[in-house]
Amino acid sequence: MIFNSIDFAIFLPIVFIIYWLVNKNLKLQNIVILIASYIFYGWWDWKFLLLIIFSSTLDYTIGIALSKNKNEKIRKLLLFTSITINLGFLGFFKYYNFFLDNFVDAFSVFGSRLEVDKLNIILPVGISFYTFQTLSYSIDVYKNKLKPTNDIISFFTFVSFFPQLVAGPIERASNLLPQFYVKRIFNYNKAIDGLRQILWGLFKKVVIADNCAELANEIFNNYNDYNGITLIFGAIFFSFQIYGDFSGYSDIAIGTSRLFGFNLLQNFSYPYLSRDISEFWRKWHISLNTWFKDYLYIPLGGSKGGNFMKIRNVSIIFLVSGFWHGANWTFITWGALNALFFLPLILSGNNRNNLDIIAEDKKYPSIREVIQVIKTFIITTFAWIFFRSDNVMMAYNYINKIFSRSIFNFPNFNDKYLVLEVLTMIMLQIIIEWHGRKNNHPFEYLNEKIQTKIFRWGLYIIIAIIILTFTGNQQEFIYFQF
Amino acid sequence: MKNLIINLCSFLLILTIVITSILTVNYLSINYTKIIDTKTEILFLGDSNMECAINDSVILKSKNLGKSAESYYYSYLKLKKILESENSINKVFLSFSPHNIYENGWFLNESNLQTGIGKYYPFMDNSDFNFVLSKKPKAVLTSLPRILSRVKDNLIRFVVRKPISYGGYIDLHRNILGEVKAKLKNDEELPFFKIPENHEISNEEIIYLKKIEQLCYKKNVNLYLINLPKRKEILNYKKYGIDNYYEYYLSNLKEIPLIDLSHIEMPDDYYGDFVHLSSKGSHCFSNFLQKNGLKSILNDFAKKTRVRKVICF
């Protein structure tokens, strides 16, 4: 069940009504969410439920065992069990065939060709997300940062909470789990703001991402037929596709959660308005990056120690982050490139500049800020080329073709009208996000700024009609494949 | 909670009213727009066979509204709209080949259906709408985005002063005869043309073919089915089902005149592929029809001749 579908449009109101009808009873509230989450997840394939229930049971049990054991060796063993089994499942479903292929390729260097049977493995939707979510629980309980829960319903609901189950944000147990211990009271302002955030999320997903996808797919899949300048546009369209897709999903997830009285972590904070790569990585997929920072980067030593340690730790984080995205060398290369962009800042101690919001006290950015934003956008888009390409060779050929003489030609798009429409919508998105950059989502700003209800509603109606009109070829959320 | 539901329902109601208004304005503007010239006397309708075969700039007082993969459902809607206001039409030629009457998915394919509804809903009456609703209710009920998308396209066309296209002659510069011959030999899928998977007659296509017949009868317009030139390789290909097609025609549709020009022999470069004439081919074929004034074709039809040899210079 995807968010922009009729199925979800029917599912959500039903769950919403039942949930608030039973709001006097905390346990019933949690049970309703749990059942709804399992229905939501099982809609893809009921077999996926077996894995998530197993994973939930494992970490629930380990959490209780950790609290009962004071012996450090046993506690380490319990944590090790949780990490191994969870990452083991993730590794098997996601990376088995990748490692097999690379092993076979490596063996062929010696002149032999290994005949192996690849397994037809279906990747359970959301496994990368909920695995990290449950791991954060085990690790925090081990470190005594979090009290383990005896409330099995609350824990299972925390793991499978449907708005953020399949594509994040990756919630920390310390943030989300306690919210299941208290009865949620209906808050009108929270719910209505949740609806606004859902609307904005749908705009980014349906209008921006899906339509950029059509253009990006056409250009990337037939890049030999296009000139350099068109390929640049292709890369830009992909940049907006992945941003619209992923941040749109996050907005819908967060907005939906607010309808039920929950607060999720912000996952994107206008990353394309970043002035350097370090700011970009503070604002892109925040939940994953902070997870890596807290559970990998800091335990490795973080930015303490000499340059070698800094280089090592930063490289590990970005390579692992790349690898998390998928079993392909393109993702690892994408991670490596970002590490390369990031390293100069951290080595020169400039990775903590630009902590404020761009043009915070001004209406418009300065020329310097505009140049910084454009530079950051260019390097991130350059890295996205690897992310999007089928393999590293294709990315290399794509980039090679960009930097040919044809970069000076006029773009040779097949569907010029679609390009104009998409560019117009992208400009609209940038303008709206620019004005809302100080808020969690831009409609929060619009709600504060436009006092007259009729104008506010007029704007929302226009956005809703644009969403309906531009519902093009429905594309699957990119991050479902991770 | 009560306030939320009230506000949400109010919002959805206003949204519905705005969308209904947009669709109504679009409906009225389409209905007040002419599709063809008032001087047109001969109308060519059908699928891509027709689209590529008849160059209407060559045949006097004619208009080709053929469209690729067009179901008879849409041909009927177009014809109904045209005959509502045009009294000059006296002949309609409708492409009629085996792939038109076998299950071809042109009508029931959900994506095609939604696109078709978006474009043709102003031409539909209750019975037409109920027909699609009964066949594919989910597709119809979720077609709003496609309709709005079409409205947006119409608005853009209005601004740039480009008329809405309901089909028309395509000057086909394609030459893949060699390629398709090789594919057919290997029983592979052909580009630009799907051979019917089975010879099951499409009820939907026949229903609307008969509606076209009734409409023409009511409006005193002569309807002719026309089997346009095709390569002998496809005509002789068993899976194409030409024998079943003739059998079905003779058993169920013989009251509608059929002009069978499928066996006309022309040079190889007159064909883009097995079923579509190339630019050269359509020019020659159209000139042939025009020179002979269509009269002799219709006279030959009376003689029930099936094979003719055409030489063009």
Q: For B108-130, write each residue's pLDDT tens digit.
A: 888 889 889 989 999 999 999 99
Chain B residues touching residue A424 (CB < 8 angstroms) = none
Q: How do residues A458-481 score in pLDDT, each as one tens digit?
A: 999 999 999 999 876 666 666 666
Query: CA A37 → CA A1, A43, A51, A287, distances in Å?
Result: 11, 10, 14, 21
Mutate to test the interface with A, among B148, B151, B159 (most CBs of A within 10 A): B148
CA pair distance A432, A208, nearest whole angstrom:
13
Residue A453 touches chain B, beta carbons under 8 Å: no
Q: What is the pLDDT of residue A291?
A: 93
B9 touches chain A (CB under 8 A): no
Is the Cβ of A466 closer than 8 Å to some Cβ of chain B?
no
What are the structure tokens assigned to B77, written together? 């809607």
Question: Mean pLDDT throughout B202-208?
Answer: 94
Q: In this complex, is the C-beta atom of A5 within 8 Å of any C-beta atom belonging to chain B?
A: no
Are the CB atoms for A385 and A239 separated by under 8 Å?
Answer: no
Please report the pLDDT score of residue A195 as a whole number: 94
Query: How far is the CA of B155 from the CAs of A423, A425, B121, B160, B168, in angstroms?
Result: 18, 17, 16, 9, 21
Residues of A in contact with B8 (CB under 8 A): 195
Q: Are B145 and A468 a contacting pair at CB < 8 A?
A: yes
A461 → closest Cβ in B8, B15, B149: B15
Residue the block writes with tokens 């004619």: B62
Check if the beta carbon of residue A408 is closer than 8 Å to that of residue A232: no
B142–chain A nearest CA distance, Å: 8
Q: Does A6 touch chain B (CB under 8 A)?
A: yes
State yes or no: pLDDT of B310 exceeds 50.
no
Q: What is the DSSP letter of A109?
A: T
CA of A463 vs chain B CAs: smallest distance (Å): 11
Q: Which of A6, A457, A465 sits opposite B148 (nearest CB)?
A: A465
Q: Does A469 touch chain B (CB under 8 A)?
A: yes
d(CA B115, CA B84) in angstroms, rounded, equals: 24
A441 is annotated as an active-site residue:
no
Nearest to A465 among B4, B11, B18 (CB): B18
Measure CB to CB from residue A468 to each of B4, B7, B144 and give the nearest one.
B144
Which pLDDT score, from 0 to 100, does residue B309 have?
43
Q: What whole-number distance in Å separates Cα of residue A25 and Cα of residue A381?
A: 49
Q: Which of helix, strand or coil describes residue A357?
A: coil
Closest by CA to B283, choosing from B123, B173, B160, is: B173
Which pLDDT does position B47 carry in this prediction? 94
Query: Is the CB of residue B148 less than 8 Å away from at least one CB of chain A?
Result: yes
Is B156 touching A (CB cutoff 8 A)?
yes
Question: Whole-angstrom Cα distance, residue A249 to residue A255?
Answer: 10
Does an H or E element contain A286, and which? Answer: helix A286-292
Distance from CA of A471 to the nearest CA of B (A): 6
Smallest CA–CA distance from A185 into chain B, residue: B1
Q: Amino acid letter at B282?
A: S
Strand partners, A385: none
What three-state secondary structure class fits A481?
helix
Residue B178 confidence (pLDDT) above 70: yes
* Closest CA of chain A from B14, distance in Å: 8
Q: Which residue is catalytic, options A285, A325, A435, A441?
A: A325
Q: Which residue stretches of chain A have pLDDT < 50?
A: none
Instruction: Identify which of B4, B145, B149 has the shortest CB distance to residue A191.
Output: B4
Average pLDDT of the residues in B237-252? 89
Is the Cβ pair A6, B142 closer than 8 Å? yes
- Binary contact (B14, A461; C-beta < 8 A): yes
Q: How many residues does chain A have?
A: 482
Model confidence at B93, pLDDT cuts 50, 70, 90, reads very high
Q: Which two tokens stand for residue A409?
A: 């030609």
| B93 DSSP β-pair partners | B44, B224
Nearest CA-CA distance, residue A462 and chain B, Å: 9
Token code pair at residue B298: 């219709």
Which chain B residues are within 8 Å of A460, Cβ to Cβ?
Answer: 11
Give the residue on B whose Cα is nearest the Cα of A261. Answer: B1
Contact A457 B11 (CB under 8 A): yes
Distance, CA of A164 to CA of B146 (rounded, Å): 29
Interface test with B, best of A467, A468, A475 (most B CBs within 10 A): A468
Stretch 70-129 of chain A: residues touching chain B, C-beta under 8 Å: none
Cβ-based contacts of A457 with chain B (< 8 Å): 11, 14
DSSP string, chain B: -HHHHHHHHHHHHHHHHHHHHHHHHHHHHHHTS-SS-TT--EEEESSHHHHHH--TTTSTTEEE---TT--HHHHHHHHHHHHHH-----EEEEE--HHHHB--STTT-HHHHHHHHHHHGGG--HHHHHHHHHH-HHHHHT-HHHHHHHHHHHHHHHHTT-PPP-----------HHHHHHHHHTTPPPTT----SS--B-HHHHHHHHHHHHHHHHTT-EEEEEE----HHHHT-GGG-HHHHHHHIIIIITTS-EEE-TT-B--GGGBSSSS-B-HHHHHHHHHHHHHTTTHHHHHHHHTT----B----
Torsion of CA A392, A396, A398, A402, to 10 degrees: 150
The reported pLDDT for the residue numbered B313 is 34
Structure confidence at residue B37 as a pLDDT band (50, 70, 90): confident
Compute the nearest-CA separation of A456 from chain B (Å): 11
- Rounded distance between C-alpha atoms, residue A32 and residue B106, angstroms: 44
Does the CB of A152 have a partner CB in chain B at under 8 Å? no
| Candidate from B8, B145, B156 with C-beta closest to A471 | B145
Describe the strand order of the beta sheet including B222-227 as a list of residue ranges. Answer: B62-64, B42-45, B91-95, B222-227, B258-260
Question: Nearest by CB to B4, which of A188, A464, A465?
Answer: A188
pTM check: above 0.80: yes
| Residue B305, CA distances (Å) to A351, B7, B258 in order | 85, 71, 11
* Chain center to CA of B112: 13
CB contact under 8 A, A469 and B148: yes
Q: What is the pLDDT of residue A474?
A: 63
Q: What is the pLDDT of residues B265-302, one digit of tens each?
A: 888 999 999 999 999 999 999 988 888 766 666 555 54
Chain A CB contacts of B151 below 8 Å: 469
Using pLDDT thresholds of 50, 70 and 90, give the confidence band for residue B306.
very low
Residue A114: its pLDDT value, please? 63
The answer to whether A417 contacts B156, with C-beta atoms less than 8 Å apart, is yes
Cβ contacts (< 8 Å) between A6 and chain B: which residues? 142
> Does B4 touch chain A if contact means CB atoms closer than 8 Å?
yes
Check B4 against A472: CB less than 8 A apart.
Answer: no
Distance CA A348, CA A232 (A): 31
- CA–CA separation, B114 and B143 (whole Å): 5
Q: Quick one: closest CA in B to A206, which residue?
A: B145
Q: Provide the chain A residues 398-417 that lie in CB contact (below 8 A) with chain B.
A: 417
Contacts of A472 in chain B (CB under 8 A): 149
Residue A186 C-alpha, separation from nearest chain B C-alpha, in angstroms: 7
**B151–A469: do the CB atoms touch at under 8 Å?**
yes
User: How many angstroms separate the CA atoms of A29 and B20, rounded?
Assistant: 38
| ipTM score of complex | 0.83
Query: With contacts defined as CB-CB under 8 Å, which chain B residues touch A188?
Result: 1, 3-4
Using a CB-CB distance cutoff of 8 angstroms, which residues of chain B are in contact with residue A471?
145, 149
Across chain B, what does the average pLDDT equal? 87
Given CB atoms, is B8 within the 8 Å cutoff of chain A?
A: yes
- With a CB-CB cutoff of 8 Å, which residues 128-147 of chain B face chain A? 142, 144-145
- Predicted confidence at residue A5, as pLDDT, reads 83
Q: What is the CA radius of gyration of chain B?
A: 21
Measured in angstroms, the CA of B145 and the nearest CA of chain A are apart by: 5
The pLDDT, as a whole number, for residue B307 is 39
- Alpha-carbon gap: A28 to the closest alpha carbon of chain B (Å): 18
